[in-house]
């Protein structure tokens, strides 16, 4: 980093320049700078929801696009998401107080027999970055864990992840159980993981297969908007 870049004093920037700088800092995974930027905007009277959408979600949208297009890779995205989390940790309690609108909510977990979590973690972070509330139930989840989480959190979306060809059929066990219990239509079910494809997603009765975290965010937004429209129309 050149001395010139080192010299950027966030507090000296006007609002527009500061948001632009935060986009860059998010992109570079600079957590301290993001936290400082969030605090400066709060001091300037920005509403927490405005900071979330304009500075953080706006910045993560750029990260998501470049990840999708192969310009950024998993390590960089994880760094950006970690910086985003720093900003979110300041905003979360404030958002709760103001009852800010949110995109929707999701329960996500890796299926039984599978302990891979990088892809799942990436989806969780990117979903949070897009303004969703995410409950991550971790790895190696039997069907009971998913059902308990759905019961407790009543999310819009259930996300399931698998990285092994031997564990991916378990997704069908979860979906079939939801059907048996009359719950399937209450939730948007998204599945993902390296061995999966669209055909598999359709075959097991998921709403969509998501190739990567960027696609998961777009798909989730699309399905939640449709669900809300149907509810409004109904």
Same fold? 9-98, 104-233:
no
- Would you state the structure tokens that stand for residue 11, as one six-digit string? 């507090």
* Mean of pLDDT over the chain: 91
Q: How far apart are CA 234 and CA 219, in angstroms?
A: 22
45 backbone φψ class: left, alpha, beta (φ>0; ψ -120 to 50): left
Query: Sorting pLDDT into bands at 50, 70 and 90, what band is 92?
Result: confident
More confidently predicted of 113 and 212 = 113
Domain ranges of the chain: 9-98, 104-233
pLDDT at 6: 58
Task: Calculate mean pLDDT across residues 52-74.
Answer: 89
Segment 145-156 shows an average pLDDT of 97
SS3 183: coil
pTM: 0.76
Comparing C-alpha atoms, which of 120, 212, 104 is closest to residue 160?
A: 120
The 3-state DSSP class for residue 156 equals: coil
Domain 104-233, what fold?
Rossmann fold (3.40.50)
CATH code 3.90.1300.10 for 9-98: no
What's the rounded Cα separation, in Å, for the pair 185 and 187?
Answer: 6
**Which residues, including other chains, have CB under 8 Å from residue 50's CB and lie 6 or more apart?**
none
Q: Tell me, what's the pLDDT at 3? A: 42
- Residue by residue, DSSP assigns 100-153 as ---SEEEEEEEBTT----HHHHHHHHHHHHTTEEEEE--SSB-HHHHHHHHHHH
Q: In what order do the strands lie in the sheet with 157-161?
A: 132-136, 104-110, 157-161, 188-192, 208-210
């Amino acid at each position: 980093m050149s001395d010139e870049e080192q010299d950027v004093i966030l507090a000296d920037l006007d609002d527009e320049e500061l948001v632009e700088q935060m986009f860059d800092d998010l992109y570079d995974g600079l957590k301290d700078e993001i936290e400082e930027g969030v605090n400066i905007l709060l001091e300037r009277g920005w509403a927490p929801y405005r900071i979330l959408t304009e500075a953080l979600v706006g910045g993560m949208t750029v990260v998501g696009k470049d990840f999708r297009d192969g310009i950024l890779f998993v390590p960089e995205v994880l760094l950006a998401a970690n910086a985003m989390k720093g900003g979110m940790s300041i905003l979360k309690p404030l958002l709760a107080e103001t009852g800010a609108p949110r995109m929707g909510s999701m329960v996500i977990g890796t299926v039984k027999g599978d302990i891979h979590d990088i892809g799942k973690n990436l989806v969780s972070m990117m979903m949070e970055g897009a303004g969703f509330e995410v409950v991550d139930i971790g790895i190696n989840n039997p069907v009971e864990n998913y059902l308990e989480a759905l019961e407790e959190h009543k999310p819009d979306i259930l996300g399931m992840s698998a990285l092994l060809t031997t564990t991916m059929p378990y997704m069908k066990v979860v979906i079939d159980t939801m059907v048996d219990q009359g719950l399937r239509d209450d939730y948007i079910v998204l599945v993902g993981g390296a061995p999966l494809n669209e055909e598999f997603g359709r075959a097991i009765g998921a709403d969509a297969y998501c190739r990567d975290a960027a696609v998961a965010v777009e798909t989730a937004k699309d399905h939640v908007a449709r669900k809300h429209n149907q509810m409004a129309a109904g």
